[in-house]
Homo-oligomer: A and B are copies of this chain.
């Protein structure tokens, strides 16, 4: 008996082989209780013999359920991307859901397109839009398709959202630097159109003013990239008076730190540095990087949880945004005095 082609038979073939109607075949295959054990057996073994694999596309069309979640992400940096997907995937996997992925490279038109392309293929949408113009995004969300937005505050948009408390995180970072004895602080900023970055910068400014009485603390431009970190290091060396740096993300913090050290500036003795994100790399650099840790995978998992709720009860109100408070992780790059916490 030669092996039979896989995933080639339809439910009609199975029904025919089992000598029942397609309806009964369907019921047996889906474990409905209204089938005689005998027929179920016949159907199941026919399916097995024919190597039947259900056509999920057809099923979704008929049930109006795809068991698939659409994930729309911007171009993310390495670790962040994989971690968030990992979180979503784990949660999705537990529930037997599949993930339809769509990176939005750049402009708004493409984003709109990406979202529209999900129509009829997903039960809900998980979108992440750190860019400031989350409105474009929301304006394109198909009506009636549950969605939760990650990383952007969308007041009154009617969609659930889950955001990182960047402001509080920045404040905590500054607080820590000050506790370490730093008095001349600088911030390496993120992209100007990035909501997270702006909040971090705002938190930095306010904390510097409140804690140090510094009305115009130094803010170096940046864009979350390695190069920006190196450039910042250059600027810091040129000035020579800064003793504490809070970077808007880890990548820039690390690049800056490495560059500083290679330029002969002692970290943390001369300059203490703290980042934001806690990418896995942070623990591998020397000195290990202090940072405001976000459990990125948790962000994804929680977003999916909220999405499931929204799917299960579409009528429920969106509710307040979930806040994710970053955690201060004190490591060597900012540790000057005794023990300093963490």
| B78-A140 in contact (CB<8A) | no
**B-chain residues with CB within 8 Å of residue A116 when the two chains form the complex:** 7, 53
| A258-B284 in contact (CB<8A) | yes
Interface code A75-118, partner B: CB below 8 Å = 1, 0 otherwise?
01011011101100100010000111111010000000000111
**B-chain residues with CB within 8 Å of residue A132 when the two chains form the complex:** none
- If A57-B120, A100-B100, A142-B6 touch, whether A85 touches B78 (CB-CB below 8 Å) is no
| A99-B98 in contact (CB<8A) | no
- If A142-B8, A143-B8, A145-B7 touch, whether A117 touches B98 (CB-CB below 8 Å) is yes
Closest to A141 in B: B6
Contact of A144 with B by CB under 8 A: yes
| B93-A85 in contact (CB<8A) | no
Q: How far does the alpha carbon of A60 sit from the alpha carbon of B57 in the complex, in Å?
A: 8
Contact of A5 with B by CB under 8 A: yes
| B78-A101 in contact (CB<8A) | no
| A101-B98 in contact (CB<8A) | yes
The one of B6, B56, B102, B117 in contact with A117, judged by C-beta atoms closer than 8 angstroms, is: B56
Contact of A61 with B by CB under 8 A: yes
| B281-A258 in contact (CB<8A) | no
Contact of A340 with B by CB under 8 A: no
| Distance to closest chain B CB from A101 (angstroms) | 4
Interface code A256-293, partner B: CB below 8 Å = 1, 0 otherwise?
00100100000000000000000011001110000000
**B-chain residues with CB within 8 Å of residue A126 when the two chains form the complex:** none
**B-chain residues with CB within 8 Å of residue A140 when the two chains form the complex:** 6
**B-chain residues with CB within 8 Å of residue A100 when the two chains form the complex:** 68, 98-101
The one of B6, B55, B284 in contact with A120, judged by C-beta atoms closer than 8 angstroms, is: B55
Contact of A119 with B by CB under 8 A: yes
- If A68-B100, A100-B99, A284-B284 touch, whether A142 touches B53 (CB-CB below 8 Å) is yes
Contact of A121 with B by CB under 8 A: yes
**B-chain residues with CB within 8 Å of residue A85 when the two chains form the complex:** 81-82, 85, 101
**B-chain residues with CB within 8 Å of residue A255 when the two chains form the complex:** 284
| B280-A78 in contact (CB<8A) | yes
Contact of A191 with B by CB under 8 A: no
Contact of A1 with B by CB under 8 A: no
CB under 8 Å from chain B, chain A span 242-265 = 254-255, 258, 261
Q: How far does the alpha carbon of A274 sit from the alpha carbon of B71 in the complex, in Å?
A: 37
Interface code A7-37, partner B: CB below 8 Å = 1, 0 otherwise?
1100000000000000000000000000000
Closest to A55 in B: B120
- Most chain B beta-carbon contacts within 10 A, residue among A118, A261, A280: A280
| Distance to closest chain B CB from A9 (angstroms) | 10
**B-chain residues with CB within 8 Å of residue A144 when the two chains form the complex:** 5, 7-8
Contact of A54 with B by CB under 8 A: yes
Question: 17 A-B pairs, CB-CB below 8 angstroms?
Answer: A5-B143, A7-B116, A7-B142, A7-B145, A53-B142, A56-B119, A57-B66, A57-B121, A78-B82, A79-B79, A81-B85, A89-B101, A93-B103, A100-B100, A255-B284, A258-B284, A285-B285
Binding site for B on A (CB under 8 A): 5-8, 53-61, 66, 68, 76, 78-79, 81-83, 85-86, 89, 93, 98-103, 105, 116-121, 140-145, 254-255, 258, 261, 280-281, 284-286
